[in-house]
A and B are shown apart, each in its own frame.
Chain A
Amino acid sequence: MSRRDPAPRRAEPTDDAALARAAAGGNQRALETLLERHFDLIHAVCRRVTGHPDDALDATQEALISMSRHIGRWDERARFTTWLYRVATNAALDELRRRKRRPVPSDSLAEPTGAAFESGVDARLDVDAALTTLSPEFRAAVVLRDLCDLEYDDIAEVLDVPIGTVRSRIARGRAAIAEELGNRSGDSDRPMSRES
Chain B
Amino acid sequence: MNRPPHRPSSDHVTDEILSAFADGVLAADDAALVENHLGECPDCSARLAAFDAVRAALRRSTVEPVAPVDEVTRRRMISAALNAPGAARAARGSGPTARYRALAVAAVAVLAVAAVATLRVTGDNESQLASGKAEAFGLPIGPERVRITDGALDDPDALAAALAAAEASTSAYVSGDEQSDEAYESVAGDAAGERRAGGSTGGGAAIISDGAVAQTDEVDATGSGTATSSIEAPAPLRPAPQTVIRSATPDELRAIARCYRTVKGSATGGGTLTSAVTGTYQNAPVIVLGFRSPDKRTLAMILARDSCTIVSAQSFR
Q: A: which residues have CB within 8 A of B?
A: 8, 23-29, 31-33, 35-36, 39-40, 43-44, 47-48, 53, 56-57, 60-61, 64-65, 67-69, 71-72, 120-125, 127, 142, 145-147, 149, 152-153, 162-164, 167-168, 170-172, 174-175, 177-178, 181-182
Residues A35 and B54 in contact in the complex (CB < 8 Å), given A60-B69, A171-B15: no
- In this complex, how many residues of chain B approach chain A with their Cβ under 8 Å: the count is 47
**B97 pairs with A27, CB closer than 8 A:** yes
Closest Cβ–Cβ distance, residue B302 to chain A (whole Å): 16
**A167 pairs with B19, CB closer than 8 A:** yes
Most chain A CB within 10 A, of B68, B69, B78, B81, is at B81
Q: B: which residues have CB within 8 A of A?
A: 1, 3, 14-16, 18-20, 23, 25, 50-51, 53-62, 65-69, 73-74, 77-78, 80-82, 84, 86-91, 95-97, 265-267
Query: Please, which residues of chain A bring their CB within 8 A of the CB of B54?
Result: 121, 125, 146, 174, 177-178, 181
Question: Complex formed: what's the CA distance from A27 to B58 in Å?
Answer: 39
Residues A65 and B58 in contact in the complex (CB < 8 Å), given A26-B91, A145-B23, A167-B20: no
The count of A-to-B residue pairs whose CB atoms sit within 8 angstroms is: 150
Residues A171 and B53 in contact in the complex (CB < 8 Å), given A31-B88, A145-B23: no
Residues A35 and B69 in contact in the complex (CB < 8 Å), given A68-B87, A146-B59: no
Closest Cβ–Cβ distance, residue B306 to chain A (whole Å): 16
Query: Please, which residues of chain B bring their CB within 8 A of the CB of A71?
Result: 88
Residues A26 and B80 in contact in the complex (CB < 8 Å), given A57-B69, A178-B53, A181-B54: no
Residues A125 and B61 in contact in the complex (CB < 8 Å), given A26-B90, A168-B16: yes
Interface of B is mostly: helix
The chain B residue sitting closest to A12, CB to CB, is B265
Query: Please, which residues of chain A bring their CB within 8 A of the CB of B56?
Result: 122
Excluding A162-B3, A170-B20, A174-B54, 17 further A-B contacts by CB distance (< 8 Å) are: A25-B95, A26-B95, A28-B97, A39-B74, A64-B78, A64-B80, A68-B81, A68-B82, A69-B88, A122-B53, A124-B57, A147-B59, A149-B59, A167-B16, A172-B15, A174-B15, A178-B53
Query: Please, which residues of chain A bring their CB within 8 A of the CB of B96?
Result: 8
List 18 interface pairs A-B (beta carbons < 8 Å), by A numbering: A26-B88, A26-B97, A31-B87, A32-B266, A35-B81, A40-B68, A65-B87, A122-B56, A124-B60, A146-B54, A146-B55, A146-B58, A152-B1, A152-B20, A167-B25, A168-B16, A172-B15, A182-B50
Residues A152 and B25 in contact in the complex (CB < 8 Å), given A57-B73, A142-B58, A174-B54: yes
